[in-house]
């Protein structure tokens, strides 16, 4: 794929920044791909809701991307601290970007339980997913070898992309495009109807992400298990 100029010249260290924004109202009718970005704290997934238009195999598709507050493993590592808002986003989405930082093994350990959590919300069928190892520019601080990422991605039925949101926007873009293709395939040609149970859900309201994240960190640091515990 040849990337548009605005993709190549994007700036910022966040996974979602490099993909050019498109007004929601300008969405391509009946060709919408909904993606949610999930991962532990500090892995680089920041953004709000992003609406993008991409061209896939000659056809325009509207891409809606939802950022989420971070998730964290419980002390016993068996489950996740995960806000209700994340559950709504998981339910809403057609495809999943699971992100960890290659410099943080704990963020990697969060991925498998996170995937299980998505599975619980969508128990049947194929779940379009990609695994993204971010911060590949920080090679000296690497804690997760690339082959571990590949093995984990394969076990989830997806592909592993190692990217640097800071230095390689093309990698980020390629990862999202791949997931879009997977979603369109899973939805059966992408004619826009939500085939999963015939639902056509509205996007969850984008709350104030910074406030949500702040509150979530408070909950985690005080170890009060009042957040939805799975
Ligand atoms: N070196 C490097 N730093 C990055 C990269 N991507 C993000 N960062 C930095 O990592 C830090 C965390 O990024 P955020 O986007 O806030 O992380 P987050 O996943 O949204 O974390 P929460 O807000 O806790 O959910 C920021 O300081 C970013 O600048 C990258 O590819 N390379």
Which two tokens mark 34? Answer: 């909904």
Between 2 and 207, name the one with better pLDDT: 207
Between 221 and 55, name the one with better pLDDT: 55
pLDDT band at 79 (very low <50, low <70, confident <90, very high): confident
Task: Classify domain 32-186 by CATH architecture.
Answer: 3-Layer(aba) Sandwich (3.40)
Task: Compute the distance from residue 58 Cα to the ligand 1 centre, in Å.
Answer: 33
Reported as a single tens digit per residue, the pLDDT across 180-207 is 889 988 887 544 444 444 344 455 555 5
pLDDT band at 215 (very low <50, low <70, confident <90, very high): low
pLDDT given at position 144: 98
10 Å Cβ neighbour count for 143?
Answer: 15
Between 199 and 13, name the one with better pLDDT: 13
Quick check: 3 pLDDT over 80? no
**Cβ of 41 less than 6 Å from ligand 1:** yes
φ, ψ for residue 193, nearest 5 deg: -80, 140
Contact between 173 and 181 under an 8 Å Cβ cutoff? The reply is: no
Between 175 and 48, name the one with better pLDDT: 175
**Cβ of 14 less than 6 Å from ligand 1:** yes
From residue 220, give the alpha-carbon distance in Å to each of 75, 114, 164, 169: 10, 17, 27, 32
Q: At what angle do helices 111-121 and 84-92 cross, to 10 degrees?
A: 60
pTM (global) more than 0.80: no
Reported as a single tens digit per residue, the pLDDT across 19-78 is 555 555 455 556 788 899 999 988 988 754 566 777 777 888 888 888 888 888 877 666
Task: Compute the distance from residue 166 Cα to the ligand 1 centre, in Å.
Answer: 9
């Amino acid at each position: 794929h040849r990337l548009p100029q605005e993709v190549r010249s994007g700036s910022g260290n966040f996974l979602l920044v490099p993909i050019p924004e498109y007004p929601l109202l300008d969405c391509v009718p009946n060709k919408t791909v909904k993606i949610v970005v999930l991962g532990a704290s500090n892995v680089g997934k920041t953004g709000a809701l992003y609406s993008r238009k991409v061209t896939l195999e000659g056809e325009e598709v509207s891409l809606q991307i939802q950022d989420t507050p971070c998730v964290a493993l419980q002390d016993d590592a068996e489950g996740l601290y995960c806000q209700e808002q994340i559950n709504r986003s998981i339910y809403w989405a057609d495809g999943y970007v699971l992100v960890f930082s290659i410099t943080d093994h704990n963020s990697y350990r969060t991925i498998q339980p996170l995937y299980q959590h998505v599975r619980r919300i969508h128990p049947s069928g194929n779940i379009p997913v990609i695994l993204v190892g971010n911060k590949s520019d920080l090679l000296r601080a690497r804690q997760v070898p690339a082959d571990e990422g590949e093995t984990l991605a394969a076990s989830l039925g997806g592909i592993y992309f190692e990217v640097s949101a800071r230095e390689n926007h093309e990698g980020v873009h390629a990862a999202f495009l791949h997931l879009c293709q997977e979603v369109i395939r899973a939805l059966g040609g992408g004619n826009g109807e939500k085939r999963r149970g015939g639902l056509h859900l509205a996007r969850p309201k984008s709350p104030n992400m910074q406030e949500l994240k702040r509150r979530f960190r408070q909950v985690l640091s005080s170890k009060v298990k009042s957040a939805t515990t799975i």
